[in-house]
Amino acid sequence: LTAVLTALQAHFPGYRARGLRGLPAQPVFYVSAECHHSFERTASITGLGTDAVRAIAVDERLRMRPDALEAAIEDDRRDGFAPFLVAATAGTTNAGAIDPLAQIAEIARRHGLWSHVDAAWAGAAALLPEKRTLFSGIELADSVTLDAHKWLSAPMGAGLVLCTRPGALRAAFAVENPYMPREASGDVADLYQYGLQWSRRFHGLKLLLSLLIHGWDGYRDAIRHMFTMGERLERRLGETGWRVVNHTPLPIRCFVDASDPSEQRCEQVRAHVFASGQAWISTTRLGGSQAALRACVTNFRTEPEDVDALIAALEATR
DSSP-based three-state secondary structure for 233: helix
Catalytic residue ranges: 36
The span from the CA of 115 to the CA of 132, in Å, is: 19
Give the number of other CB atoms < 10 A from CB of residue 44.
12
Contact criterion met (CB below 8 Å) for 173 and 248: no
Q: Which residues pair with 83 in a beta bridge?
A: 28
Angle between helices 204-239 and 304-315 (to 10 degrees): 50
Is the Cα torsion angle 283, 150, 142, 44 positive or negative in sign? positive
Question: Residue 288: left (phi > 0), alpha (psi -120 to 50), or beta?
Answer: left
Distance CA 241, CA 250 (A): 21
Cα 13 to Cα 60: distance, rounded to the nearest angstrom? 39
Q: Judging by DSSP bridges, how do beta strands 53-56 and 27-32 pair with one another?
A: parallel
Q: Which helix (H) or strand (E) holds 144?
A: strand 143-147
**Residues 6+ away with beta carbon under 8 Å from 167:** none
What is the distance between the alpha carbons of residues 54 and 69, in angstroms, rounded to a whole number? 9
For the stretch 148-151, contacts whose Cβ atoms lie closer than 8 Å and that sit 24 or more positions apart, written own/partner, are: 148/124, 148/206, 148/207, 149/206, 150/120, 150/121, 150/124, 150/298, 151/121, 151/122, 151/123, 151/124, 151/125, 151/223, 151/226, 151/298
- What values do phi and psi take at 33, rounded to 5? -60, -15
